[in-house]
Structure 1
């Protein structure tokens, strides 16, 4: 019986390895990236496969969660987080939720430093340091400024004012320096979360053939991607971070950014 169980486990692992690869993506989600008037916004932190509306991973309490506003002012939000359960299409997973009062005009850069996630199928930790943007009143302030993370993507286009059919460019930094020839995985939020039920809404698209969308940075750490559809797009600079080990295990440290594209009307 022990040998049978071992054979079945090996077959399951082999079968999983044969499936198309899906990109893990840390998500900072709020329903509206462009606010016309002050108000309190809901925020969901979720580790997911959003393009596929697929498997969700349990999130431990993050190391850090904060917001950066003009003049590089940081507000710590870690103690404002509430643990919740997100009920995805394939499974349920631990996530985090909060609300934040947006009052002053300008840009709000939300920054998440999650606890590293152990991925047994890849035999390493995944640590995705993530940024997302909200703007109040169409007033640009600090969207194009780095916030001093070990690795991050600095947008070269205003991340809350991208037009579907145009392009988005970003610069990957590692310890403040451009990260040349870095692989960028591209993701789309196909099924936006319903924050009342903590379930995914109906997907608006299916993943494209050919697997994960990928581009590379140039010698200056810059990449460009054509935005084919309105909605939330995520970009992950794979293994761009300087911290290659965690708890004596290999670690993939990624820089993730989410931007919002709009249709012209």
Structure 2
């Protein structure tokens, strides 16, 4: 499958500017919890690399986790919160992931489409984050059946900074060749108590967004230069292209955690 986007959507992202990457977060700072319990998950639509503008989220369409192939709905755990960005406040959500047994917890979010008035399009970033308890893998490399998603080829919750990360992009279960992948870093990690960005640790590079491309099998690879949380987005990779009579960019997003070797 070759990725295609309508001219209107392409033009909208060009006008938005390559350095202004919006990314949906599914976030907790601890990707490898060691004790059982409910793990708070922040759902924030933001520009995290530049610690920039935050966008209002509507009520998510789906919020769930997959553990050893079993999907569990988490929408009843959602509570509205306000994210206090560096320049503005925005509607966001907090949910709870029940971490009990050892293994991989794949958390998925299908947000409500967000209307970007300046571009006259809708944006829906279908997002996955990964958590592991006990260091025992149990399915991180499996797709979870989302309309569009990344399937990691490296364990996504303990990538070594200085190594590489690879993933395959799928749309309706089929590989997406020739897709442009935007790459993002959380430069100011959200404080779980105040719902506000923490200290800024780095800034975006000159030259615009970091970008990789998928090969004929829908696979991309990126060298991870720094510890922390890295995000990857494929704009317009999903099968749905219209919402409420307007263009829809249905994007796949994945977040990974990288660590330095001491």
Residue 119 of structure 2 aligns to a residue whose secondary structure is coil
- Note if contact 2:231-2:256 (Cα within 8 Å) is conserved in structure 1: yes
- Note if contact 2:24-2:43 (Cα within 8 Å) is conserved in structure 1: yes
Matching residue within 55, 58, 64 for 1:66: 64
Give the whole-Å Cα distance in 2 for the aligned partners of 1:33 and 1:172. Answer: 22
> Which residue number in structure 1 is paired with residue 53 of structure 2?
55
Matches within 5 A, 1:1-265: 21-70=19-68, 72-265=69-262
Residue 234 of structure 1 aligns to a residue whose secondary structure is strand
Gaps of 5+ in 2: 1-14
Residue 79 of structure 1 aligns to a residue whose secondary structure is helix
Q: CA RMSD in A?
A: 1.1
Gaps of 5+ in 1: 1-16
- The aligned length equals 248
Q: CA deviation at 1:249?
A: 0.6
Residue 55 of structure 2 aligns to a residue whose secondary structure is coil
Q: Which has the larger radius of gyration?
A: 1
Q: 1:104 to 1:134 in 2, by over 3 A?
A: same
Give the whole-Å Cα distance in 2 for the aligned partners of 1:206 and 1:21. Answer: 11
Give the whole-Å Cα distance in 1 for the aligned partners of 2:39 and 2:75. Answer: 16
- TM (normalized to structure 1)? 0.91
Structure 1, residues 59-89: CA drift from partner, whole Å, max 9, x if none? 000000000000x111111111000001110
- Higher relative CO (Cα under 8 Å, sequence separation at least 6) belongs to 2
Give the whole-Å Cα distance in 1 for the aligned partners of 2:189 and 2:158. Answer: 19
Residue 256 of structure 2 aligns to a residue whose secondary structure is strand
Give the whole-Å Cα distance in 2 for the aligned partners of 1:46 and 1:245. Answer: 23
